[in-house]
Amino acid sequence: MAKRKGFDPRVFRKRFQQLCKETRLNQMQLAAKIGLTQASVSRYLSSSPPNVNALARIAQSFGVSMDWLCGLKDQRK
């Protein structure tokens, strides 16, 4: 039986960090771009996964799919 893919917080963190590096924004600039607090951005980059609303904001701000951010798909869009 094939293993079912699900949300993986480690994949989310890695991909979110990758997007941050690509845009070369600091956490304050990133927070302003996404519409979140700097504390939330810091938390998402280091430990806690975002809620679905924050996840949607992040995906929309970077032009990627939520499925890619969560590790459910390999294609960004």
Alpha-carbon distance 66 to 51, whole Å?
12
Cα dihedral: 19, 32, 35, 55 (round 10): 10
Using alpha carbons only, give the angle 58, 28, 41 rounded to the nearest 5 degrees. 40
Residue keyed to tokens 């890695």: 14
Domain ranges of the chain: 9-70
For residue range 13-35, what is the model confidence (pLDDT) as tens digits? Answer: 999 999 999 999 999 999 999 99
- Comparing C-alpha atoms, which of 68, 65, 75, 76 is closest to residue 8? 68
CATH code for residues 9-70:
1.10.260.40
For residue range 24-63, what is the model confidence (pLDDT) as tens digits? Answer: 999 999 999 999 999 999 999 998 999 999 999 999 999 9
pLDDT at position 1 is 45
